[in-house]
Amino acid sequence: MSQDYHFYEPAHGHGLPHDPFNAIVGPRPIGWISSRSADGVLNLAPYSFFNAFNYVPPIIGFSSQGRKDTLNNIEATGEFVWNLATRPLAEAMNLSCAPAPPEVDEFALAGLTPAPARVVQTPRVAESPVAFECRVTQVIALQTTTGADTGNRLVLGEVVGVHIARQLLKDGIYDTAGAGHILRGGGPADYFEITPAQLFRMHRPGYPFAR
């Protein structure tokens, strides 16, 4: 079947009202990252480019588009915490992305409670039902095909501590559909919520049914 395609080379512009790249690669999980400066000032910020990259040991990562307080803090302390953004926390998460100066504590700005971590020194968001305590493994400078530095940094961290609200463990299995995850879409203000209505199951060919 023949289809009509819009084609563009990103280096020459997309020719559309809004760059479609983020909308196509998505919805994406939100990297809601808490960090702490060397002087102890807390920071909390959401990152759109975030995901998991390794299973054992668990490694997650996010891309800082430009040098921001989170990146400075992580380079200074070598640690961070990822906090799950859920629908009830969406407005607070949005408040935490305000372009505040380094001395501003986004926990206070967003009306959230810092809770002590168990392994690292950086606090987690007490109101979030899931948090990953992480130690940095790599900070990678992203480059173009010519080797030019984009100015952006991919931060990778090994998960060394996991907090899960017990009500999200159904017979020992994490209830993704019931947790209320929100995801980042591609438009300037687009988000999505995961609910049980979106759940379907499909076993991989030859993959054990019980795991």
Quote the pLDDT of residue 144. Answer: 96
Q: Is-contact 104 90, C-beta < 8 A?
A: no
In this predicted model, what pLDDT tens digit does every residue of 172-199 receive, in sequence order? 999 999 999 999 998 788 999 999 999 8
Taken as a whole, the chain contains a residue count of 211
Could you list the pLDDT tens digit for every one of the 211 residues in the chain?
678 999 999 999 999 998 889 888 888 999 999 999 999 999 999 999 999 999 999 999 999 998 999 999 999 999 999 999 999 999 999 999 998 899 999 999 999 999 999 999 999 999 999 999 999 999 999 999 999 999 999 999 999 999 999 999 999 999 999 999 999 998 788 999 999 999 898 988 976 655 5
What is the identity of the amino acid at 92?
Answer: A
Phi-psi region of 88 (alpha: psi -120 to 50; beta: other; left: phi over 0): alpha
pTM over 0.85: yes
Query: In the prediction, which pLDDT does 1 show?
Result: 66
Residue from 134, 111, 115 nearest 123 by CA:
115
- CB-based burial label for 185 (10 Å; 0-12, 13-18, 19+): middle
